[in-house]
Amino acid sequence: MNILHYWRAMWGIIGRELRRFITQRERFISALVRPLIWLFVFAAGFRSALGIAISPPYETYILYEVYITPGLIGMIQLFNGMQSSLSMVYDREMGSMRILMVCPLPRWFLLLSKLLAGTAVSILQVYVFLGIAWLYEIRAPSWQGYVWVLPALMLSGMMLGALGLLLSSFIKQLENFAGVMNFVIFPMFFMSTALYPLWKIKESSALLYKLAHYNPFSQAVELIRFALYEQFNQPAFIYVLVAFIVFMIAAIIGYNPSKGMMTGKGGA
Amino acid sequence: MNTPIALSIEDLSFSYGKKKALDRINFRIQPGECTLLLGPNGAGKSTLFSLITRLYDSRGGNIELCGFNIKRQTRKALAKLGVVFQQTTLDMDLSVMQNLRYHTALHGMGRKQSMLRIQEELERLNMFNRRFEKIRQLNGGHRRRVEIARALLHKPSLLLLDEPTVGLDVPSRQDIVDHVHRLAAEENMAVLWASHLIDEVYPDDHVIVLDKGRIKANGTVNEVLQLTGTSTIKDAFNKLTQGAQA
């Protein structure tokens, strides 16, 4: 057992996930269509209805499309994180997860590699989305923003992927997953700063404001928003990092044969 | 130096809630030995496999693979193990080669060594010329061959097969049964083969009959026949499992 073994295994897992993603064209297209509809239909329609006042990182008035772009990037990663965990539940039911679990590497490492693989796929999707948005002149202020956003995407992708992993460790059957998708994705997305800024939410409901503020998805969106403007949002970074660590540890416990899902499925 | 026992199971028990799936199981498999684990559906075969592969954890009993304890030396133990699960575990949208490369990566094998081993194992199963085909394009028998090749790539000392011939036609089944028996004989590999198909037993095999979580017989085919006072393994099986559906 050596570093090279870990390295090869990690790239094996990432490579497999990327190959699977490329071969499944429908998945690629549907992952893009969703945020593009939000961008070109929803945002265009609401452009006049929703006024966005100047707030950091924006230094001037911006179009609503510009405002929701980081939120839609978050949406891509949120869906991707859930999709990865959905595929893990599927893999577990179909058995291919077993091949991963019986290989001679620590389980935490295998889960982390799986997470990295899912994040790599989501980053690929995000850059294609940003490319299309750029063609329609919805752009970051400069090209550096597209570089700055990469580490932010890595962290937010890992955090959302770890959440999906955690959920998948407690879901015994594929059928149960649809409900969880509705109970996780929609509340997380709508109770966040993806579509409207916090101060706007505060105007309507103090409770909603608090929920949105403490929602890790909001923090991920803010991290991305600031990074696109070449700014580092430290509180959001810390919040997302801590959320990632908590979700990841819980997921590792969930996948431990003596503690988590296996005992749930089996016994002692 | 003595070759360690390939698989040693001591006092192994496992329950699903209050339902006991395995009750104080004991047996050993030596290198080069092909052991058929026979039992009706629900006998506890798949549970036993899940415990050996550490997908489940048990508090009662002990499992050792080639001298390594599965709980305390998990990774060393798993490195000695090749597994073919009951359900297919191949990625349908990837090619034979991509599936096998994934496995060699998980076992830390470099590109050159991987290619060599993949060629060796696929050639043995007459599948090398189909290495670039997608799994989806292969029939059930060929998919099983790929899974067996995959399980052998890292040269395991113990090969576990969980009902690998279910759903296959007679010639495909025969090919796989022959190949696995050859592996045990020629490569000194220990094999534990779970099955409910009596005709997969060869005269030189060891047989373990499992029923309702308990071992009802454990020995060579002749020993089991003697124990039950029967002349065929089918009769012995029926007697031991009291006519449970094979």
B56-114 per-position pLDDT tens digit: 887 789 999 999 999 999 999 999 999 998 888 898 889 999 999 999 999 999 999 99
CATH 1.10.1660.10 fits B1-80+157-246, yes or no: no
What percentage of chain B has pLDDT greater than the value 70?
Answer: 98
> Are B98 and A16 in contact (CB < 8 Å)?
yes
Q: How far apart are CA B159 and CA A43, in angstroms?
A: 58
For chain A (268 residues), the mean pLDDT of every run of 10, in chain order, is 89 90 81 86 73 70 84 92 78 74 89 91 93 87 89 95 86 66 84 84 86 93 92 94 95 73 42
Q: Which of A5, A265, A268 sits opposite B15 (nearest CB)?
A: A268
Please give the residue that has the higher pLDDT: either B119 or A30: B119
Nearest CB partner across the interface for A1, out of B75, B83, B85: B75
ipTM: 0.84
Amino acid at A198: L
Average pLDDT, chain B: 90
CB B224 within 8 Å of CB B233: yes
pLDDT at A262: 46
pLDDT at A62: 76
B62 close to B97: Cβ distance less than 8 angstroms: no
Strands (E), chain A: none
Q: Find the mean pLDDT for residues B167-175.
A: 84
Are A8 and B108 inside 8 Å of each other by CB?
A: yes
Pair A89, A169: CB distance under 8 Å: no
- Length of chain A in residues, anyone? 268
Contact A95 B89 (CB under 8 A): yes
Query: Residue B129 and residue B114: Cα distance in Å, rounded?
Result: 17
> Encoding tokens for residue B31?
């290198």
| Residue B153 to residue B127: CA distance in whole angstroms | 14
Give the residue from A199, A223, A186 showing the smallest Cα distance to A70.
A223
Show Cβ contacts of residue B179 under 8 Å, excluding neighbours closer than 6 positions.
B124, B125, B148
Inter-chain contact B98–A99, Cβ cutoff 8 Å? no
Tell me if B221 sits within 8 A of B198, measured CB to CB: no
Q: How far is CA B122 from CA A120, B138, B144, in A?
A: 32, 14, 12
In angstroms, rounded to a whole number, what is the distance separating the alpha carbons of residues A114 and B34?
35
Q: Would you kindly state where each structural domain of chain B is located, as residue ranges? A: 1-80+157-246, 91-155
The one-letter amino acid at A139: R
**What number is the average pLDDT over the span B195-213?**
87
Q: Name residue B119's amino acid.
A: Q
How confident is the model at residue B18, as a pLDDT? 83
Instruction: Decide which of B128 and A92 is more confident.
Output: B128
Q: pLDDT at position B77, please?
A: 94
Q: Which residue of A has its CA nearest to B12?
A: A268
Q: Are A38 and A68 in contact (CB under 8 A)?
A: yes
Nearest partner of B188 among B153, B157, B224, judged by Cα:
B157
Chain segment B8-20, per-residue pLDDT in tens? 999 999 988 888 8
d(CA A175, CA A171): 9
> CA-CA distance, B66 to B95, in Å (whole number)?
33
Query: What pLDDT sits at residue A53?
Result: 64
Counted residue by residue, chain B has a size of 246
